Amino acid sequence: MASPDLIIKAVNETTNNKDLSRYDENVCSDIQRKLDSKLKEQELSIPEKALFARNNFAVMNKWEQIFPSGITECLREYFRSRALWAPKFDPRFPNINQAKNCFVNYVDYHRCIKLKGEDYKDCDYFKQVATSMCPNQWLEKFDEQIQDDAFPVDF
């Protein structure tokens, strides 16, 4: 992914010779929306998107030399918020005990790959949620149960 070109393109398409030395909320939200749409076109996976943001956040001093201060503030905020990914609040599980949330996403991942095949990209979302939420011991136990054909859910 050619990240410098992507960012420069997004900024140029949005700014149109406005005063960029100060942080402007409207310009910033336009730039962020443009960057989001360009990244969506590239069809990156969740880890790849987070790594893209992380790598760009790490070289913010490079962007500070290229862009005016208003833009770099905006870019720093954008990359900082996306460098780490975590599943959003799931309203199906509003209570303190999230064990069911972990289990349901694990089951949904296996159902997805059974239905759509292992290479189907969108199944990755369920896998990411299950890996984030479920303790490693629980994941190992579930995998063992699947291998031994003892898992309580029939996919």
Partner 1 sequence: MSTWGQLNLQEGMSTIMELMNYFHDYMMTFIVLILSFVTYMFAFVIISPRLDKYTVDSHILETVWTVIPMLILLFMAFPSLYLLYLMEDVSNPSLMVKVVGHQWYWEYQYSNSWFNYSFDSYMVYEKSDSPLYHALDVDNRLVLPTNANILFLITSADVLHSWAIPTLGIKADAVPGRLNYLSTMTPYSGVYYGQCSEICGSNHSFMPIVLEFVPMSNYLDYVSNLSVSE
The site for partner 1 (CB under 8 A) is made up of 46-47, 49-51, 54, 57-58, 80-81, 83-89, 94, 96-99, 101-102, 128, 131-137
Closer of 32 and 101 to partner 1 (Cβ): 101
Closer of 99 and 115 to partner 1 (Cβ): 99
Q: How far is the CB of 122 from partner 1 (least distance, A)?
A: 15
Read off the tokens for 101: 């949330």
Closer of 16 and 97 to partner 1 (Cβ): 97
Closer of 26 and 91 to partner 1 (Cβ): 91
Q: Which residues have C-beta within 8 Å of that of residue 56, sequence separation ≥ 6?
A: 3, 7, 63, 75, 79
Do residues 54 and 1 lie in contact, with contact meaning Cβ atoms separated by under 8 Å?
Answer: no
Q: How far is the CB of 146 from partner 1 (least distance, A)?
A: 19
Q: How far is the CB of 57 from partner 1 (least distance, A)?
A: 6
Q: Which of these, 41, 43, 71, lies nearest to 56 by C-alpha position?
A: 71
CA dist., res. 17 & res. 2, Å (int): 24
- 9: exposed, middle or buried (Cβ count in 10 Å: 0-12, 13-18, 19+): middle
Q: How far is the CB of 15 from partner 1 (least distance, A)?
A: 26
Q: Which residues have C-beta within 8 Å of that of residue 88, sequence separation ≥ 6?
A: none
Q: How far is the CB of 89 from partner 1 (least distance, A)?
A: 5
Closer of 2 and 96 to partner 1 (Cβ): 96
User: What is residue 119's three-state secondary structure?
Assistant: coil
